[in-house]
Amino acid sequence: MRNLRLLPLVATAALLTACGGGEEAQHYGPNPTLPEPERGLLPSMKISEPGPWGQQRPLVPAGYTVTAIATNLAIPRQTLVLPNGDILVAEGRGGHAPKLRPKDIIAGMIKSKGTTSVKSGNRLTLLRDANGDGVYELRTVFADKLDAPYGLALVGDQLYVANQGALVRFAYTPGQTQAGAPPVKVTDLPSHINHHWTKSLAASPDGRFLYVGIGSNSNITERGMPAEADRAMVWQIDAASGAHRPFATGLRNPTALAIQPGTGQLWAVVNERDELGPNLVPDYLTFVRDGGFYGWPYSYWGQNVDNRVRPQDPQKVATAIRPDYSLGAHVAALGVAFSNPAMGAAFADGVFVGEHGSWNRSQPSGYKVVFVPFQNGRPAGPPRDVVTGFLGADGKARGRPVGVTVDPRGALIVADDLSNTIWRVTPPRPAGA
Amino acid sequence: MRAILSQRATTGLHLLYVVLVSCAAPLFLGGLLSDIAYARTYEIQWLNFADWLIAGAMVFTGVALAWSLVEVVLDRGRSRAGLIGLGILVATFLVGLLNSLTHARDAWGTMPAGLILSLVTTALAIAAIWFAVAQARTGAVQ
């Protein structure tokens, strides 16, 4: 066991030697530099206090346009573009984790300064741009009285919604602006405590299965191991029967799922553990292997043992898979969407990732939407900024990106749960078109 | 007559100090025992108990410290036992604060530092009672 714990050290040392040393720490990509865990007496917390947008707008690449297509929403998280171009927005806030320790009370008070004070919407809002001029003139409540809805997926005429405690479905007919009937429950989802309450959702290309991402019930098991039953994993749910099985485990908080076009493979962005230092542990983007174990809670970034977990499990650690691509520590990736050529040549092949932004790092990270370029179906190259300016030069947060969705007609839809806005980013249109 | 009155008042003030200091020690001890239970079982609830017991002990230590400052102001001539007691109480508060922050780490991240600090604060808090009572006795004899 001792040797096993030394392994990552040896590997890191070998890597440093190979690089010749002196190189700048690599935070992104397949081989991030992993510093030694550190934790001072007080965990670093830096809340970027909210500020108004005023006349400012998010910044987008040259030639691209950004517009707010809906404002004054009730905590928009994830969006879905329907076949007729309508956009569904899931709004809400969940979780009912009790404050167990003095720390929970203090940290809760500090963290709440960085989020919206709007009441949870618990609804789906539909936005429509009937004439394609980029103005979403129609806005209706598609369904309400939901329970912190988050993940959305359309399979044929069934609209699936992942509430914080159950997967439900609505019958959907194209052009509908309001659900015709209350939702039907497909299956309950783990919701005891719900420390990480968001239930991300994707459907297999053939529509037979639904994948639901279920976050852990703690940062690193501090609510006890029994609370982690059925947590930190992706469920595969049979759409017809509602039966489920764990598809992949050890994923601390898989906050967004997406199916890769062409391959049909499941990808996820995952938020990793806190309180190991400003550059540890990287949040990541990864292809999710059937049956794969990704480390949480026993280890991170493959087989780097987390000493805070007792009892340890060296056998599990030995099977832990290294994720594909580091997005950087504490960026809080909450959205992922595969792009297509309609987004412009620079963003034709790859994924967009919405980064909510850090709260536990003295130098804020995230607070933007990035693009991870792909080649041959795999991430290739450093991430590029796509939508920035959410964190002002004055240190105030104007917005915080969550879900990202690509409209096949060429637009990136970004949900912002701080300014309660849906942003739409469009590529330059050819002249005269 | 005036001397006797002021001495009585001082003793009354000091009794409250003795009570406050005496409240902190068993709470620190409870924290220590909970830490030991967590270290032996990995059962997280023990750590939650330790967190709150130590937080409670810190409240009494803090109030006792504030009270002893009031005593210093009202009664300039402190006995040797009193000064040592004050020093120990300050140490209890500082180590206790360190222990609270250590216990704010998650799960086993608290260990082993948390258990060692619990042991030290418990010992300090008991010593603080010792000197607080000793001071009360010398005060009574004078």
| CB-based contact B43 A222, cutoff 8 Å | no
Tell me which residues of chain A have a C-beta less than 8 Å from any C-beta of chain B: 39, 41-43, 100-103, 218-225, 275, 307-311
What is the mean predicted confidence (pLDDT) over A275-290?
A: 96
Q: Which residues in chain B touch residue A228, judged by CB atoms under 8 angstroms apart?
A: none
pLDDT of residue A13: 39
pLDDT of residue A305: 97
Report how far residue A296's alpha carbon sits from residue A308's, in angstroms, rounded to the nearest whole number: 11
Both tokens assigned to A264: 């049909």
| CB-based contact A309 B43, cutoff 8 Å | no
Residue A387: left (phi > 0), alpha (psi -120 to 50), or beta?
Answer: beta
pLDDT of residue B15: 86
Q: How confident is the model at residue A80 (pLDDT cuts 50, 70, 90)?
A: very high
- pLDDT tens digits for A311-322? 999 999 999 999
Q: Which residues in chain A touch residue B48, judged by CB atoms under 8 angstroms apart?
A: 100-101
Of B44, B51, B107, the CB nearest to A102: B51
Report how far residue A214's alpha carbon sits from residue B50's, in angstroms, rounded to the nearest whole number: 30
Q: Which of B48, B62, B60, B54 is nearest to B32 (CA)?
A: B54
pLDDT over 90, % of chain A: 82
| CB-based contact B44 A220, cutoff 8 Å | no
What phi and psi values does residue B135 have, to the nearest 5 degrees? -65, -40
pLDDT of residue A17: 35
| CB-based contact A39 B45, cutoff 8 Å | no
Report how far residue A51's alpha carbon sits from residue A392's, in angstroms, rounded to the nearest whole number: 9
Least confident span in A14-28, A149-163, A176-190, A329-343? A14-28
Domains and CATH numbers, chain A: 2-6+42-426 (2.120.10.30)
Q: Which residue is closest to B38 within chain A, CA to CA?
A: A310
In the three-class reduction of DSSP (H, G, I as helix; E, B as strand; rest coil), residue A31 is classed as: coil
Both tokens assigned to A232: 């930190």
Is residue B77's pLDDT more than 70? Answer: no
Higher pLDDT, A402 or A39: A402
Q: Which residue is closest to B51 within chain A, CA to CA?
A: A101
Higher pLDDT, A42 or A363: A363
Of A222, A275, A307, the CB nearest to B44: A222
pLDDT over 90, % of chain B: 65
Of A41, A42, A220, the CB nearest to B106: A220
Q: How confident is the model at residue A24 (pLDDT cuts 50, 70, 90)?
A: low
| CB-based contact A224 B43, cutoff 8 Å | yes
Q: Which residue is closest to A99 within chain B, CA to CA?
A: B48
**In angstroms, what separates the C-alpha of A101 from chain B's closest C-alpha?**
6
Of B44, B98, B109, the CB nearest to A224: B44
- pLDDT tens digits for A234-252? 999 999 999 999 999 999 9
Q: Which residues in chain B touch residue A275, judged by CB atoms under 8 angstroms apart?
A: 105-106, 109
Least confident span in A10-19, A140-149, A295-304? A10-19
Q: Supply the mean pLDDT for chain B.
A: 87
Q: Supply the mean pLDDT for chain A.
A: 92
pLDDT of residue B76: 59
Q: How many CB pairs below 8 Å do chains A and B form together?
A: 52
Q: Which of A42, A198, A197 is nearest to A106 (CA)?
A: A42
Q: Which residues in chain B touch residue A103, judged by CB atoms under 8 angstroms apart?
A: 51, 104
What is the mean predicted confidence (pLDDT) over A90-114?
A: 89
- pLDDT tens digits for A196-225? 999 999 999 999 999 999 999 999 999 999
What is the mean predicted confidence (pLDDT) over A338-342?
A: 96
Q: How confident is the model at residue B68 (pLDDT cuts 50, 70, 90)?
A: confident
Is residue A26's pLDDT more than 90? Answer: no
Q: How confident is the model at residue A14 (pLDDT cuts 50, 70, 90)?
A: very low
Is residue A6's pLDDT more than 50? Answer: no
- pLDDT tens digits for A114-154? 888 899 999 999 999 999 999 999 999 999 999 999 999 99
pLDDT of residue B134: 83
Least confident span in A202-206, A289-293, A341-345, B9-13? B9-13
What is the mean predicted confidence (pLDDT) over A285-305?
A: 98
CB atoms within 10 A of CB A178: 11
What is the mean predicted confidence (pLDDT) over A58-64?
A: 97
Report ipTM for this prediction: 0.86
Q: Which residues in chain A touch residue B113, judged by CB atoms under 8 angstroms apart?
A: none
Q: Which residues in chain B touch residue A311, judged by CB atoms under 8 angstroms apart?
A: 42
Q: How confident is the model at residue A431 (pLDDT cuts 50, 70, 90)?
A: low
| CB-based contact B109 A218, cutoff 8 Å | no
pLDDT over 70, % of chain A: 94
Q: Which residues in chain B touch residue A100, judged by CB atoms under 8 angstroms apart?
A: 48
pLDDT of residue A248: 98
pLDDT of residue A10: 38
Is residue A47's pLDDT more than 90? Answer: no
Is residue B5's pLDDT more than 60? Answer: no
Q: How confident is the model at residue B139 (pLDDT cuts 50, 70, 90)?
A: low
Interior/surface letters A211-241, b for 16+ CB within 10 angstroms, e for the rest: bbbbbbbbbbbbbbbebbeebbbbbbbebee
In the three-class reduction of DSSP (H, G, I as helix; E, B as strand; rest coil), residue A104 is classed as: helix
In the three-class reduction of DSSP (H, G, I as helix; E, B as strand; rest coil), residue A297 is classed as: coil
Q: Which residues in chain A touch residue B104, judged by CB atoms under 8 angstroms apart?
A: 43, 101-103
pLDDT of residue B79: 72
